[in-house]
C-alpha cells in the first residue's frame, strides 16, 4: 500500500515539473515552519544565469527573508533530489532542523553520496535527514528530462 506524500513534498514535485517545463533540471524545494509552507523554489540556474540558483538555495534565501533571520531553526527543507555539497552546506549554515528529500543522487549528491557534508567533522550542524519520500516520481521526472534532452541532441 502506497502512502500519500506529505503536502510539502507534493508541492516540491509540482515545482520540479515547472522547472522541467522551463528547461531547467527538474528539482523543486519547499521550506516549512511547522505545517506552513513559508518558502518555495525550483531550479532556475539557466533562466537566472546563476550557477547557485539551485532550488534549495533559492528556497533557503526566501525563507530567511520571510522570517527576517539567517538561522532557520524549527524549519524543514523538502527537496526532490538529494542536495549537492553546496546546498547541503547551506542547509547546515541555515541551521535547518530537518531535511527531507525524494531521490538520491549518486553522481552529484552531497548528503548520502559524494562529500557527505553532514558526516564531516567540520560540519557544525547536522539536520535530521530522511530520503526516499516521493523517490519514484522524482526519479521519473529526472529520467524523462534527460532522456528528452538526449533525444533532441541526437546523442
- Binding positions for Zn(2+): 54, 84, 87
The answer to whether the CB of 61 falls within 8 A of the CB of 34 is no
Strands 98-103 and 75-81: parallel
Please name the residue that has the C-alpha cell 539536520: 127
Whole-number Å distance between alpha carbons of 13 and 105: 16
- Coil, strand, or helix at residue 58? helix
Among residues 56, 104, 135, 137, the one annotated as catalytic is: 56
Please say if 24 is a catalytic residue: no
Helix or strand run (H / E) with residue 153? helix 135-153
Q: Which residues are catalytic?
A: 56
Amino acid at each position: 500500500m502506497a502512502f500519500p506524500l506529505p503536502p510539502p513534498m507534493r508541492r516540491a514535485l509540482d515545482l520540479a515539473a515547472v522547472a522541467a517545463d522551463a528547461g531547467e533540471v527538474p528539482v523543486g524545494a519547499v521550506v516549512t515552519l511547522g505545517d506552513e509552507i513559508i518558502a518555495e523554489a525550483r531550479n532556475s540556474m539557466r533562466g537566472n544565469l546563476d550557477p547557485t540558483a539551485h532550488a534549495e538555495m533559492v528556497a533557503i534565501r526566501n525563507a530567511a527573508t520571510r522570517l527576517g533571520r539567517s538561522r532557520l531553526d524549527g524549519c524543514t527543507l523538502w527537496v526532490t533530489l538529494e542536495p549537492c555539497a553546496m546546498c547541503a552546506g547551506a542547509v547546515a549554515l541555515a541551521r535547518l532542523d530537518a531535511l527531507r528529500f525524494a531521490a538520491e543522487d549518486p553522481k552529484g549528491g552531497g548528503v548520502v553520496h559524494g562529500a557527505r557534508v553532514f558526516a564531516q567533522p567540520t560540519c557544525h550542524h547536522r539536520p535530521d535527514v530522511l530520503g526516499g519520500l516521493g523517490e519514484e516520481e522524482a526519479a521519473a521526472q529526472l529520467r524523462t528530462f534527460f532522456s528528452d534532452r538526449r533525444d533532441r541532441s541526437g546523442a
